[in-house]
Structure 1
């Protein structure tokens, strides 16, 4: 999730655990702890792909965060002894904030290495990385806790339950769409072995569907507010890696994306795209791996580069209409180039 949401979640969780002891210092400490795991973005792993796929690694590991919380708790109690904030209370607050951070990240589409150093990317894909309906209640709870100090903990506890219920709703909505997708794939004679279902920007009502199918893939949108259950899929060409050798970073990108990858040539550059993050022809994670030389042969770059394209908010109106069930728009996915992921 975005940094604002993670800081707000950390503050709210800390306030909920503090209860009657909730105050500005507790909320600030929770916000700081909630931001801490994402500081791994300052690390440079040597190239654009490695920086992408190694984010949410060791700093998000369920195996490392509890020992780290123990260390923080020991240091705090060592230098700031307090009758109420015993070691166990400090540890409970610290580990709760850190673990809720990484678990929330695992509910987005990006992928989180929950069991680092063991290989594997885990994602539930039941919430977009920026969702105002999730974040705003957290911010309201923080504001209320600062204003109504005597009941600050109650506000935080209530909103933690509310935000958790919203995540459960997102998962439920995803399963509703998944059943609809399964029926459509069967009726339209499309494969169902490699399917992605993920929310579109800022909501849990409109969902993007990607279906991999040999030499092409299919992309469609499904809203919970649709009157018709039919999903219109747009077919897109799916290319393969044209070189005999696969760089280590490409193998890592394949694992990171669960092989939702596409390849294309553009301006003599070989571009590899992660199909999960973005929409249509405007994907969030694309990388240049090789350049075509004057002899017509591909020459691998020493390190892959990030390929950037312009992002536009012009189609948010169309996205809003499609979310409300207007299937006449049906995203002409060639036009709906929305990619608001970080």
Structure 2
């Protein structure tokens, strides 16, 4: 999740556990601990793909954070012994461990068990969702105004947790809705990713991939009885096979679970993470290889500039969420021309 959300979550937990003893400084302690796992972004791993795929790695591993919580609890107890060591341990463990657990509900991928296993991604909440964050912020503001405000903090944590539970339920409802559509288009056995569109859980994006093509569906809870409409994109398995032996391509495939789009851009072969962003506005495109004469050579990966998002995109998205625009073409991020389909 975004930094503001992690700070609000950490502060809420710290205030609920230790606010009566530590006062307003509990919020600061929670904010610092809630930010700590994301400091791995300052590490340069040597290439764009390495930086992309090692983020949310060791610093988000439960196997690392559990002993770190113990160490920080001891340090906190030495600093403020009026809060008992068990309470310090409860505080540090809750804040540090809920950070990666919350991240795991997003689409990016969180290596909860680093150095073992694959990234965990539930895909049920967008990386920025005001409906999750606002109850936490309100609780923290209540604490700042009149500590310890335990009721407000607890209510904020309860509401945000219930909302997180709703995201999983909503995801399953959407999954059940699109399965017949995928079956009708010959993609019943495709790998499927179901995730919310930006900033909400009313409108959802479904991505299904086979070796040769990709289907995208946008459907929401305010669509009434409108049947979801698939939009198709060609894939380039030939390009995927050409770079399949390159270590950085293999790591990117592992990290994204194959949800990639390969392209030729001049003399370069690129790979785009199609899980994140939207078609035409995917933020993560990497250069994997370059032709030297007739020979294709691996390069130290670099990231292409993020595409600009048109100012009217948010209004278009809002009209699609509310059902005012019944169909949204992802290729153009606009409604289809009257009488035509995407």
Question: Same fold per TM (> 0.5)?
Answer: yes
The equivalent residue for 2:339 is: none
What is the alpha-carbon distance in structure 1 between the residues aligned to residue 183 and residue 36 of structure 2?
45
Distance apart, 1:291 and its partner CA: 2.3
Q: Deviations over 1:149-190 (max 9, x none)?
A: 25x122111110110001011111111100001122123333
RMSD: 1.7
Secondary structure of the structure 2 residue equivalent to 1:201: coil
What is the alpha-carbon distance in structure 2 between the residues aligned to residue 17 and residue 280 of structure 1?
43
Distance apart, 1:220 and its partner CA: 1.4
Kept in 2, the 8 Å contact 1:195–1:210? The answer is yes
| Stretch deviating more after TM superposition (58-67 or 245-254) | 245-254
The equivalent residue for 1:91 is: 89
Is 1:15 the counterpart of 2:15? The answer is: yes
The equivalent residue for 1:2 is: 2
Secondary structure of the structure 2 residue equivalent to 1:210: strand
The equivalent residue for 1:213 is: 210
Written as runs of structure 1 = structure 2, the 5 A alignment for 1:173-188 is 173-188=170-185
What is the alpha-carbon distance in structure 2 between the residues aligned to residue 211 and residue 281 of structure 1?
17
Higher relative contact order (CA 8 A, sep 6+): 1
Distance apart, 1:25 and its partner CA: 0.1
Distance apart, 1:237 and its partner CA: 1.0
Q: Any gaps of 5 or more consecutive residues in structure 2?
A: 335-342
Secondary structure of the structure 2 residue equivalent to 1:77: helix
Secondary structure of the structure 2 residue equivalent to 1:283: coil
What is the alpha-carbon distance in structure 1 between the residues aligned to residue 186 and residue 325 of structure 2?
21
Secondary structure of the structure 1 residue equivalent to 2:63: coil
The equivalent residue for 2:71 is: 71
Q: In structure 2, do the counterparts of structure 1 residues 290 and 244 end up closer, same or farther at CA, with 3 Å as the change threshold?
A: closer
The equivalent residue for 2:104 is: 106
The equivalent residue for 1:279 is: 278
Is 1:232 the counterpart of 2:232? The answer is: no
Q: How many residues align?
A: 331
Kept in 2, the 8 Å contact 1:11–1:142? The answer is yes
Q: In structure 2, do the counterparts of structure 1 residues 305 and 144 end up closer, same or farther at CA, with 3 Å as the change threshold?
A: same
What is the alpha-carbon distance in structure 2 between the residues aligned to residue 246 and residue 278 of structure 1?
27
What is the alpha-carbon distance in structure 2 between the residues aligned to residue 185 and residue 263 of structure 1?
23
Secondary structure of the structure 1 residue equivalent to 2:106: coil
Is 1:34 the counterpart of 2:40? The answer is: no
The equivalent residue for 1:56 is: 56
| Stretch deviating more after TM superposition (12-21 or 55-64) | 12-21
Distance apart, 1:68 and its partner CA: 0.4
Q: Deviations over 1:118-144 (max 9, x none)?
A: 131101111100111111221111111
